[in-house]
Amino acid sequence: MHQTVTKPIDSTRRWWVLAIVVAAQFMFGVDAFIVNVAIPTIAVDLKASPAQIESVIAIYLIAYATLVVTGGRLGDIHGTKTIFLAGVLGFTATSLWCGLAQSGIELIMARLAQGATAALMLPQVLATLHLLFSDETRNRAFAVYGIVLGLAGAAGFLLGGLLVTLDLAGTGWRSVFFVNVPFGLAIAAAAWRVMPSVPRRAGTRLDIKGSMVLFAGLLCLIGPLLFGHDLGWALWLWPVMALGGAILAAFLKLEHAVARAGGMPLIDLTVLADPAFLRGLGAAFFFFTANLSFYLVMTLFMQRGLKIPPLVAGMAFIPLALAFVVASRHSGVRARHRGTMVLIEGCALQIAGLGALALAAFCVDAPTPLTLALAMVIFGYGQGLVMAPLSGTVLSTVKPVAAGSASGMYGTTAQIGNAAGVAAIGAVFFAIESLQSARAGFFVSLALFVTLIMICTAFLTWMRRASASS
């Protein structure tokens, strides 16, 4: 196979490349949180049902989760620059489509396409960092990357509330998607001029069939949770969920068949023999199930239950996001000395933060945004202690030759957890809100978050024992 010759990248130019790729990561991170703030306004304007509200978030995550490994492989085949540009331009175009959507169903389809293009864009970010920063500057580059991840959350919350409130040119919530268009075009133009062409990896192949089967299985499993409330929890939804479970079981058999035929399966099956890694994936799944769903429920409770305006609700999340950034910086050093115990402490802090939120919401008739923000700081700091070192901890026992595939499995598991949490806990919140009140739905959701984080803690403890015995 023909390989592109890569010119050496001087130290000045590679920092410009870093700025470009982390700008794309920042745009993706802002988009994930900006939508949460705008969701109640979107629901009113498009007359969207609870299922459609959840699907706007969940379908994006499902598309991203099932295609992110394929996106990484496409970068190997066609070069990271080519696929990065395709992803950025696709993300820009689909963001425009999201902003122009005229119905809940159309917005869901646009978000599906947006998630697919994000799966092309994001794998190239880390691939580029690995390529250009292999010397002593590597830690600095990844520190910048980590800080950008945290700041994207704060920017998303603030920008979402600001744009909805300002109602620029009468665009309302649509501006939260339109804002990606000029930024996306600027990133693509800069990448075209500055990013280096890199060698293609010979022998890399796509497992398209595996991606399609995984997507179908997840959709059958999570779809009924999304639309169950709208459909009155019809009996036929349960066989559909069972079919989703069967398809996911068949997915593993398909991957074994692809491997036996000499192909490249979507997942590296050898890592499934590592008990510590599997338990770590379990911890990641339950942690992320309580991740984006928390922000969705918190936003809905503040705006629908407490009638807090979008801008004020968005600003209430900023202390949490900043606490997350601070904890992320602290967790790296602490994890090197104390290992998994730091993650377990972070889980305990998250539970303490959820307890503080419960006290604030149920011991005060009308808790102020400041009161809620102070309680969320505890949760955010705990979340930062867990999330930052979690991937490294889960991958710590994986052999270097399988690191890329294991990283892809971790990322896929995280996004599936996010989607499952939005679908399941969102369904519980809406069901209880319609029967009683948003406050009651919030209380039950908090109890579910505590349960999920406790299960995550159990998996971390189980993983620790497996790592110690290996």
CB-based contacts of 94: which residues, under 8 Å, 6+ apart? Answer: 110, 111, 113, 114, 117
pLDDT in tens, 354-366: 999 999 888 888 8
> Nearest-5° angle of CA 391, CA 392, CA 396?
120
Split at pLDDT 50, 70, 90, the class of 3 is very low
Task: Return the pLDDT at 228.
Answer: 79
Closest alpha carbon to 195 in 313, 390, 317, 18 = 18
b/e 352-379 (16+ beta carbons within 10 angstroms → b): ebbebbbebbeeeeebebebbbbbbbbb
In the chain, % of residues over pLDDT 90:
35
Say yes or no to pLDDT of 56 above 80.
Answer: yes
pLDDT in tens, 392-404: 788 777 776 666 6
Split at pLDDT 50, 70, 90, the class of 6 is very low
What is the amino acid identity at position 114?
Q
Closest alpha carbon to 184 in 106, 117, 116 = 117
Say yes or no to pLDDT of 90 above 70.
Answer: yes
Listed range (241-250, 262-271, 302-311, 372-381) with the worst mean pLDDT: 262-271
Query: For residues 221 and 216, what is the distance between their CA atoms, to the nearest angstrom?
Result: 9
Asked if residue 373 lies in contact with residue 319, where contact means CB atoms within 8 angstroms, the answer is yes
Split at pLDDT 50, 70, 90, the class of 108 is very high
What is the amino acid identity at position 159?
L
Say yes or no to pLDDT of 190 above 80.
Answer: yes
Say how many Å lie between the first and final Cα of the chain, rounded: 40
> Nearest-5° angle of CA 392, CA 396, CA 400?
105
Query: For residues 100 and 97, what is the distance between their CA atoms, to the nearest angstrom?
Result: 5
Asked if residue 74 lies in contact with residue 87, where contact means CB atoms within 8 angstroms, the answer is no
Average pLDDT over residues 230-236: 82
Split at pLDDT 50, 70, 90, the class of 37 is confident
pLDDT in tens, 438-462: 899 999 999 999 999 999 999 999 8
